[in-house]
Amino acid sequence: MQTQQTSSTPKVIIGMDIHKKSWSVSIRTDICDHRTLNMPADADGLYDYISSNFPGHEVSIAYEAGCCGFSAARHFIGMGWKVLVVNPADVPRMDKQNYQKTDKIDSRNLCKQLYNNNLRGIYIPTSEEEELRSLVRHRNQIVKQLRKVKTHIKSMLLFHGITIPIDFDNNNWSKAFIKWLKNLNW
What is the tens place of the pLDDT at every residue in 19-75? 999 999 999 998 888 899 999 999 999 999 999 999 989 999 999 998 888 999 999
Helix axes 71-78, 43-53, angle to 10 degrees: 40
Domain limits of the chain? 11-124, 129-182
pTM value?
Answer: 0.75
Q: Which one of 3.40.50.2300, 3.20.20.80, 3.30.420.40, 3.60.150.10 gives the CATH number of domain 11-124?
A: 3.30.420.40
pLDDT tens across 126-169, in order?
Answer: 999 999 999 999 999 999 999 999 999 999 999 999 999 888 88
